[in-house]
Amino acid sequence: MTRLLTGSVLAVLLSFQAQASDKMTREHIQQVIDVTDAAAKNRDTAGIGEYLSETFEKVIEFPYDEWMATVRLDKEKYLNLIDEGWPTIEDYEYQRDNTVIHVMPDGLSGHSYSTITETLTLDGTRRVSKFREHALYALENGRPVITQISGHTLVGHTMPEPDDSAGASRRRDY
């Protein structure tokens, strides 16, 4: 299975070199999403980094006490953070849903919206986070790259569950 996935990713990577373009397309953005998702599922930091712009920035908003906190990471800090994190995670699942892609009218950039769900086990504790991702894309040396990822993170179990006594929904954090 890993060889099949690696072969598929390699084929897409090679196709990017042949598809160097002066116009962004929906297909370019979808290919970047597919390749970086495969790299994330394989815990491949270098594979993710290959499709981040040199000026890449990750902006993460998350609830902290009664406030919203914001963290900004440049490409190097972001890749170092995830690379250091992989060995500490026992189990890891990554899923992208609800993706919408738009190409700007000038054909030079685009963006996507998705919901990313990551489920991991750390120190024996299962954790789930959902990130409503907004990604910006541009052509860099004729190939599509991600210039920014921003969004809001919810930590814990984010799906409502029926309340047996009142029929209402509640949220449970892990």
The token pair that represents 150 in the structure block = 């921003």
- Domains identified in the chain and CATH numbers: 2-172 (3.10.450.50)
pTM given for the model: 0.76
Please, which residues have CB within 8 angstroms of residue 14's CB and are 6 or more apart in sequence? Answer: none
Please, which residues have CB within 8 angstroms of residue 67's CB and are 6 or more apart in sequence? Answer: none
For residue 43, pLDDT over 60 is answered with: yes
Tens digits of residue pLDDT in 45-98: 999 999 999 999 999 888 888 888 899 999 999 999 999 999 999 999 999 999
DSSP 120: E
Average pLDDT over residues 154-159: 57
Which one, of 24, 20, 21, 19, lies nearest residue 105 by Cα?
24
